[in-house]
């Protein structure tokens, strides 16, 4: 990854990014003196009075009401920079426990999402059952950071049961499953589950030939052109999804991701634009993610 690519990406984030994404880019490039602590402070500024997270930390979830999806996003950023400490993790677990269904999982969104701006296709799911997307990623990252809390026991059992019963999935859910499997101590079970999920990914969830995006339909429910590449499923060489792809497939994905950098230095979003400002709000985060992925794989693929 060239210095010019990084410099252009950084200028884009400095110009358009909010506090969290600017701090993430700063930590990624080692450009600041405070590092992970500054990212943590920026994330915690989105914490609500009841211990959840809100205020647009997830670009598609607006308003002051905490949502499980927003808590997941906060945990993900903290884990990204190694700033997911025990106290913060326990606070997230405590908030999640308030909204946990009888099956041990947490709905991805609460009914309160309806009161604030949100994508028109997004509706709160049934509140009497958990969602694998949010529960698996949150529990997996918390467990990986060494957080210990009673909520995790039921959440982990829920995730294992749902993964064992999984017959089909979609990209964002797979990202969460991978985060869960990465911290699973039962490695034999995790590797067997990863093999099954990887087969689902290769069966139509990943665009293996980025040179021909029109030759494959996006997964059901995803926007036209909303494809995911091998490097989305495997953002680093040691990630769970890295074994799902050949070296040639990963190289093609990384080359395609690098080529997506636009003239302004940022990377595009591929999902549906539901209001005029969503690109400005979401692109900085996607740009940080692209830089981190390209950096992680530099010299490995």
* pLDDT tens profile 253-298: 999 999 999 999 999 999 888 888 899 999 999 999 999 999 999 9
The domain tally of the chain equals 2
Are 82 and 158 in the same domain? yes
| Residue whose pair of structure tokens reads 């990014």 in the numeric block | 17
CA distance 272 to 274: 6
Are 55 and 196 in the same domain? yes
39 is a domain residue: no
For residues 88 and 78, is the Cβ–Cβ distance under 8 A?
yes
Closest listed residue to residue 152, CA positions, set 161, 139, 136: 139
| Residue whose pair of structure tokens reads 């946990």 in the numeric block | 100
Are 118 and 54 in the same domain? yes
Mean pLDDT of 181-210: 98
Are 146 and 246 in the same domain? no
Q: Helix (H) and strand (E) counts for the chain?
A: 12, 0
What tens digit of pLDDT does each residue of 125-156 get? Answer: 999 999 999 999 999 999 999 999 999 999 99
Verdict on whether the full-model pTM lies above 0.75: yes
Are 166 and 108 in the same domain? yes
Structure tokens at 176: 């969460």
Rounded to the nearest 10°, the torsion over CA 215, 219, 221, 226 is -60
Are 212 and 164 in the same domain? no
The dihedral sign for the CA sequence 270, 10, 36, 278? negative
Closest listed residue to residue 254, CA positions, set 235, 227, 226: 235
For residues 196 and 244, is the Cβ–Cβ distance under 8 A?
no
For residues 286 and 13, is the Cβ–Cβ distance under 8 A?
no
C-alpha pair distances (Å), 240 with each of 84, 178, 235, 243, 244: 20, 6, 9, 7, 8
CA distance 156 to 109: 19
Per-residue pLDDT at 276: 87
- Split at pLDDT 50, 70, 90, the class of 33 is low
38 is a domain residue: no
CA distance 212 to 218: 12
Q: Which residues pair with 47 in a beta bridge?
A: 53
For residues 133 and 172, is the Cβ–Cβ distance under 8 A?
yes
- Residue 301: is its pLDDT beyond 90? no
Are 212 and 199 in the same domain? no
For residues 117 and 58, is the Cβ–Cβ distance under 8 A?
no
Compute how many other C-beta atoms are within 10 angstroms of the C-beta atom of residue 34.
12
Are 24 and 141 in the same domain? no
N-term to C-term CA, the chain: 12
pLDDT, the chain, mean: 96
Structural domain for 171, as ranges: 46-203
What tens digit of pLDDT does each residue of 97-132 get? Answer: 999 999 999 999 999 999 999 999 889 999 999 999
Per-residue pLDDT at 32: 66
- Split at pLDDT 50, 70, 90, the class of 77 is very high
Per-residue pLDDT at 215: 87
């Amino acid at each position: 990854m060239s210095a010019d690519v990084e410099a252009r990406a950084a200028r884009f984030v400095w110009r358009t990014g909010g506090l969290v994404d600017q701090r993430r880019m700063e930590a990624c490039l080692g450009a600041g003196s405070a590092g992970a602590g500054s990212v943590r402070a920026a994330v915690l500024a989105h914490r609500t009075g009841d211990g959840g997270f809100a205020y647009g930390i997830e670009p598609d979830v607006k308003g002051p009401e905490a949502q499980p999806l927003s808590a997941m996003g906060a945990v993900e950023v903290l884990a990204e920079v190694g700033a997911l400490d025990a106290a913060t993790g326990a606070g997230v677990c405590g908030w999640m426990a308030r909204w946990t269904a009888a099956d041990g999982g947490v709905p991805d969104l609460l009914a309160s999402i309806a009161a604030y701006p949100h994508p028109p296709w997004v509706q709160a799911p049934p509140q009497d059952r958990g969602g694998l997307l949010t529960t698996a990623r949150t529990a997996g990252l918390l467990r990986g950071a060494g957080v210990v809390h009673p909520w995790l026991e039921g959440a982990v059992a829920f995730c294992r049961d749902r993964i064992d019963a999984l017959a089909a999935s979609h990209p964002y859910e797979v990202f969460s499953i991978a985060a869960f499997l990465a911290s699973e101590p039962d490695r034999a079970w995790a590797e067997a589950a990863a093999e099954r999920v990887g087969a689902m990914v290769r069966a139509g969830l990943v665009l293996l030939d980025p040179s021909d995006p029109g030759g494959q339909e996006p997964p059901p429910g995803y926007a036209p052109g909303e494809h995911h590449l091998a490097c989305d499923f495997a953002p680093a060489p040691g990630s769970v999804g890295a074994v799902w792809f050949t070296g040639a497939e990963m190289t093609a994905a990384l080359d395609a991701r690098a080529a997506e950098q636009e003239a302004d230095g940022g990377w595009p979003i591929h999902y549906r634009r539901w209001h005029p400002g969503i690109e400005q709000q979401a692109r900085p985060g996607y740009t940080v993610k692209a830089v981190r992925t390209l950096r992680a794989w530099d010299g490995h693929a």
